[in-house]
């Protein structure tokens, strides 16, 4: 039977308080034995909750289709965050939801428009992008990322009859802006649990793209989950760029160097919340022969990561695809009030994926147990580090 001295928290792959604790590294050899779930033999694991009856599958799918909706008369616009389509993460999820709703609702391809952002662009450029879509008759319009918050504060009142969806933020007092926000910390928590059980050194790491509050949610959840599973685990953390520099979300070369630094410190499972920079993190992980956990999408299946997918043991999911899909459908049927206030574990707005075959039934059960406790409110996952 496995000894567990690390509390396991598997429903929030974000990161709860990336604090470095060193005591666990001295527990070598005192860990569990037997299954692949106990790969982290250096850790002492805390008692883990049991999986609820009937559970056992990761939350990779969520029913989003209700009654058939004819949106063939709509013109739908999408304004990407930096990185755009092809980032193998956040923006690609938005693109997937966009593609699916076009297919499901009969919107003609010529009635869709996608526009991308540039790193550190001026606020006026974002405003111009949103105005362009609105003036050309696109409605609804999805703005992908909190970076559009201030722009929508200005632009939305100029087009009161246009419905905007804003991923990761809200605009107070703007009735035509629907916030599409997530409990990222819950998914990150589950990622932290996986990291603890997969680590051979009881020493893991977190790579943040940009040092901002949104990414702090991932950090907080991840750390809390790792320590719930293994209280004495060491968690290294490093951000690629400071809050003023958003290139940290699309610089694979810096992602690689940042990851190398954490690996040199002893981390053998890394979790990047870094957008396209995560591509470099996975390259560093493969070069070093250690492991990684994907973020936002089921990154094991991302084409851009085909050469490094074998190091990805699991992924935390942030269902931006679901939010985009559901928002457009709700706008088309004039039923925006039906959308959840927060896309969390309870509504499968966040979750985890176990593609790759490294997560055994025992660890799956532990993850489902933590997930159930988060949904029931028995575990409160912090959203600040």
Q: Which residue has the tokens 């990407």?
A: 80
**SS3 track for 210-232:** ECCHHHHHHHHHHHHHHHHHCCC
> What are 188's strand-pairing partners?
12
Using an 8 Å Cβ cutoff, are 202 and 3 in contact? Answer: no
Using an 8 Å Cβ cutoff, are 8 and 46 in contact? Answer: yes
Burial 152-169, CB ≥16 within 10 A → b, else e: beebbeebeebbbbbbbb
pLDDT value at residue 27: 34
Q: Can you spell out the DSSP letters for 297-318?
A: S-GGG-GGGTTTGGGEEEEEEE
For residue 241, how far is the Cα from the chain centroid? Answer: 19
pLDDT value at residue 25: 33
Interatomic CA distance for residues 375 and 385, integer angstroms: 21
- One pLDDT digit (tens) per residue for the chain, 385 residues: 343 333 333 333 333 333 333 333 333 333 332 334 444 457 999 999 988 876 654 444 444 455 677 777 889 999 998 888 988 888 999 999 999 988 888 888 899 999 998 888 999 999 999 999 999 999 999 999 999 999 999 999 999 999 999 999 999 999 999 999 999 999 999 999 999 999 999 999 999 999 999 999 999 999 999 999 999 999 999 999 999 999 999 899 999 999 999 999 999 999 999 999 999 999 999 999 999 999 999 999 999 899 999 999 999 999 999 999 999 999 999 999 999 999 999 999 999 999 989 999 999 999 999 999 999 999 999 999 9
pLDDT value at residue 55: 62
pLDDT value at residue 61: 45
Question: Which residues does 354 contact at the CB level (< 8 Å), separation at least 6?
Answer: 58, 314, 364
Write down all domains in the chain, each with its CATH number in brackets.
12-49+184-319+338-376 (3.40.50.2300), 76-180 (3.40.50.2300)
């Amino acid at each position: 039977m496995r000894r567990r001295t690390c509390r396991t928290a598997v429903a929030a792959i974000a990161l709860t308080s990336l604090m470095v604790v060193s005591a666990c590294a001295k527990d070598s050899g005192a860990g569990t034995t037997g299954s692949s779930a106990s790969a982290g033999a250096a850790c002492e694991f805390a008692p883990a909750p049991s999986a609820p009856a009937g559970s056992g599958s990761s939350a990779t799918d969520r029913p989003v289709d209700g009654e058939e909706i004819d949106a063939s008369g709509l013109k739908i616009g999408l304004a990407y965050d930096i990185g755009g389509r092809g980032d193998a993460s956040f923006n690609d999820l938005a693109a997937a939801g966009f593609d699916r709703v076009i297919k499901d609702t009969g919107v003609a391809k010529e009635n869709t428009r996608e526009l991308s952002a540039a790193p550190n662009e001026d606020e006026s450029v974002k405003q111009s992008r949103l105005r362009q879509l609105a003036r050309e008759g696109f409605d609804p319009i999805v703005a992908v990322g909190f970076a559009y918050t201030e722009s929508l504060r200005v632009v939305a009142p100029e087009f009161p009859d246009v419905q905007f969806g804003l991923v990761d933020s809200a605009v107070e007092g703007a009735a035509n802006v629907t916030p599409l926000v997530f409990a990222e910390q819950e998914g990150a928590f589950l990622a932290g649990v996986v990291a603890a059980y997969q680590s051979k050194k009881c020493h893991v790491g977190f790579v943040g793209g940009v040092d901002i509050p949104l990414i702090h949610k991932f950090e907080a959840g991840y750390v809390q989950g790792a320590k719930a599973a293994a209280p004495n685990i060491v968690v290294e953390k490093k951000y690629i760029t400071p809050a003023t520099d958003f290139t940290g979300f699309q610089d694979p070369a810096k992602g690689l160097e940042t990851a190398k630094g954490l690996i040199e410190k002893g981390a053998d499972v890394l979790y990047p919340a870094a957008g396209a920079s995560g591509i470099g993190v996975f390259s560093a992980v493969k070069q070093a022969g250690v492991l990684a956990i994907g973020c936002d999408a089921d990154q094991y299946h991302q084409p851009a990561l085909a050469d490094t997918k074998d190091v990805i043991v699991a992924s935390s999911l942030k269902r931006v695809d679901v939010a985009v899909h559901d928002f457009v459908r709700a706008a088309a049927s004039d039923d925006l009030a039906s959308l959840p206030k927060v896309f969390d574990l309870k509504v499968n707005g966040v979750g985890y994926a176990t593609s790759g075959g490294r997560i055994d039934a025992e660890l799956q059960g532990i993850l489902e147990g933590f997930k159930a406790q988060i949904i029931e409110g028995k575990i409160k996952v912090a959203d600040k580090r």
